[in-house]
A and B are shown apart, each in its own frame.
Chain A
Amino acid sequence: MISRLFSLARLGTLIAKESIQMRRDKLTFGMMLGVPLMQLVLFGFAINTDPKELPAALVAPTQDRYTRAMVTALELTDYYRFIAPDASAAEAERMIARGDVAFVVTVPSDFGRRVARGDHPTILIEADASDPSVASGAISTLSEVAADALLRETGQEAEAAQRAATQLRVAVHRRYNPEGITQYNIVPGLLGVILQLTMVMMTSMALTRETERGTMENLLSMPATPLEIMLGKIVPYLIVGAVQVAVVLLAARAMFSIPFVGSLSLLLFGVFVFVLALVILGYLISTVSRTQMQAMQLTFFFFLPSLLLSGFMFPFRGMPLWAQYLGEVFPLTHFLRLVRGVMLKGADLADVAAPLAALGIFAALLTLVTLARFRRTLD
């Protein structure tokens, strides 16, 4: 009875057929391996959430020594690069409007006098906050840098030292990524994003292709069970996924020297569960769409919010609570916790049990829905 419902031989036949078709479709096959690598290189090098050396303009009518001290201090933070060190207010305005500079630093003409008088000197930094992430790092370092620079310049070295000693200092340790290198965060995340895009998209077309080409009628008229058909479709993609994982991990190591402090086998296990959930999701999309175009649209409908809400693009804990709840429904969210935990923090099984369990539940639920949704008939 069992053998009537499930046969390894039949599954083998289905897998063999799917693999041959995959191999013959040279373009798609190339894409499956080429696209991940391309995305990794592109995004890995391009995305930087803590940008440094941003272009800035300086408006300083009187270039006295206080002004120069300020400018040097700002440049030393690495955030500012003054490409227009002696701009007029109007020029600076035009430059920031055009986007040529990200900051305009204005040191008023009475700045030196006020410092000398011990008055409250003011400098104005205008940041192009149309992209908030550009501005944040640069601005956050600002007031302290400026204050210290001035104290030193007015010869109050001792006072500066004392201020440092008596005032409350908040120590910040950037753990797991002391230099705050964006790539350490992005590249493991990219593994998830790349897998998600290719796996869901490829499998989402698996069944619709059969429907569109009319081969579904023939397939359904032969004795293959829904489970066999499903496994026959997803196993080849699991193998492709494994190759992708190897490619991305090796490239991450070679190109970005991402530290890997955790257990490799734990990571691979997590990746396996994640990919499993993805291919089943893709297959589910495949059972509900009638054309490959629909499948593609559904994939993107799912892909974009998961990219934005998973914590890949923006810090997960920074989102409003409702968005965090929404984010929990995406496998990517859990995978990101897992992969960052294992790769960067050296998390062990107990640490990542929650995301792992979540991914497992995804896979199981999706399987059930899919098998229930599968149309054994052409109705």
Chain B
Amino acid sequence: MSAEPAISVKGLTKRFGDKTVVNDVSLTVQRGEIAGFLGPNGSGKTTTIRLMCGLLTPDAGEGIVLGHDIRKEARRIKLKVGYMTQRFSFYEDLTIEENLRFVAGLYRLKRARKVVEETLQDLGLHSRRKQLAGSLSGGWKQRLALAACIMHKPDLLLLDEPTAGVDPKARREFWDEIHALAAKGLTVLVSTHYMDEAERCHRINYIAYGTLVARGTVEEVVAEAGLTTLLLTGTSAQTSKAGARLKGAQGVEQVAHFGADLHVVGRDGAALRASAERVAADTGCTLTASETSLEDVFIRLMSESADNMQ
């Protein structure tokens, strides 16, 4: 039973008009795993998540979620999945408490009153429970939405950018909670644009323009990209001059400033090193080898798939 993956979809395809938004996506998430779902804006993350919880019908492909067919058993899936939408989609003209009551009622939770009460306590919103949800700040809306979608103790959480606009402390608490839930056997698929969040996932899946282009642990994805990263240090005047010269130089694919430091990335390690050494010598910067970050890899993947699209 638990050997069976929580999510297993194959060849998932979705078109809107003649635009293929999700193209032949196959993806597996094991039970108890926290899977990151990453990709540029408009790459099809939200659409894929909707396909997985039966909110959209795929044009091709099939999938089993929590042991149920996504085409035929959407109702059963809905009972066991908590889906947090990207855009706040609870009722702004209901109070916090009324929204939670509504959710509890739809799932027919036993002792609904008590569950709502506890959720309010956990959230720290007990004193504001009579406040209209629409009057909450963006971050609080996110926290309310998350609390609402785990109230029925789902087996799988589908979170679509759950921490967009949430402050760092709340974000950390949120991730602690996610890890605690996963430890108890809950499976989580979470889409995000934050690199630090991607690194907190057990495995990540990277989608670009509807196609899944990378997957694995963070280390695997970084290693697979085969990138070389070098670091130039010096005064900010030196590095900015170096940056200008390195842009478009032989073997240099990415140039990024981090404070006074300069990050250069490329696939062809030898060519990159040659260019960087020349420029470092000319500008008086110090050159050291560095570790490739996930962000470097994603930017690489993004431009690669953009090229493929053309």
Contacts and interface: CB of A to CB of B under 8 A. Distances in A.
A222 B78 contact: yes
Given A12-B105, A222-B78, 5 more contacts: A7-B108, A9-B105, A10-B108, A218-B85, A222-B107
23 contacts: A4-B75, A9-B105, A13-B106, A14-B106, A17-B91, A17-B94, A20-B93, A21-B93, A25-B93, A215-B89, A215-B90, A217-B87, A217-B89, A218-B90, A221-B53, A221-B78, A221-B85, A224-B106, A377-B54, A377-B55, A377-B56, A378-B55, A378-B56
A223 B93 contact: no
B174 interface: no
Interface in B83-111: 83, 85, 87-94, 98, 101-103, 105-108
A376 interface: yes
B79 interface: yes
A222 to B, nearest CB: 5
B275 interface: no
B94 A21 contact: yes
A224 B54 CA distance: 13
A10 B56 CA distance: 23
Interface string B54-81: 1111000000000000000011001101
Contacts of B129: none
Contacts of B108: 7, 9-10
- Interface size on A, as a range, is 20 to 34
Given A9-B105, A13-B105, A221 B56 contact: no
B267 interface: no
B149 to A, nearest CB: 9
A21 B92 CA distance: 10
Contacts of B53: 221
A161 to B, nearest CB: 77
B193 interface: no
Contact of A223 (B78, B87, B98): B78
Contact of A220 (B55, B92, B107): B55
Contacts of B87: 214, 217
Q: Is the interface of A mostly helix, strand, loop or mixed?
A: helix
B91 A217 contact: no
B91 A223 contact: no
Contacts of A25: 93
B50 interface: yes
A378 B102 CA distance: 21
A378 B93 contact: no
Counting from the closest, the 5 A-B pairs by CB-CB distance are: A13-B105, A218-B89, A221-B83, A222-B106, A214-B89
B57 A379 contact: yes
A24 interface: yes
Interface in A176-231: 213-218, 220-225
Contact of A377 (B57, B90, B98): B57
Interface string B95-136: 000100111011110000000000000000000000000000
Contact of B107 (A20, A223, A225, A377): A223
A215 B56 contact: no
Contact of B106 (A10, A214, A376): A10
Contacts of B85: 214, 217-218, 221
Most chain A beta carbons < 10 A, residue from B50, B54, B55, B74: B55
Contacts of B88: 214
Nearest to A10: B106
Contacts of B101: 13
A377 B74 CA distance: 10
A225 B79 CA distance: 12
Contacts of A215: 89-91
Contacts of A376: 74
Interface in A6-49: 7, 9-10, 12-14, 16-17, 20-21, 24-25
Contacts of B75: 4, 223, 225
Contacts of B94: 17, 20-21
Nearest to B46: A217
A10 B107 CA distance: 8
